[in-house]
Amino acid sequence: MASTTAAVPFWRAAGMTYITYSNICASLVRGCLKDPHRSEAAAREKVHFAISKWANGKPEKPSIRSDLLEQ
Q: How many of the chain's residues bind other proteins (CB under 8 A)?
A: 25
Single out the segment in contact with other proteins by CB under 8 A; choices: 32-40, 52-60, 62-70: 32-40
Contact (Cβ atoms closer than 8 angstroms) between residue 30 and residue 45: yes
Give the residue with the Cβ less far from other proteins, 10 or 54: 10
Q: Does 23 bind other proteins (CB under 8 A)?
A: yes
Q: Strand 46-51 to strand 63-68: parallel, antiparallel, or no bridges (unpaired)? A: antiparallel
Single out the segment in contact with other proteins by CB under 8 A; choices: 37-45, 49-57, 60-68: 37-45
* Torsion angles phi and psi, residue 38, rounded to 5: -65, -45
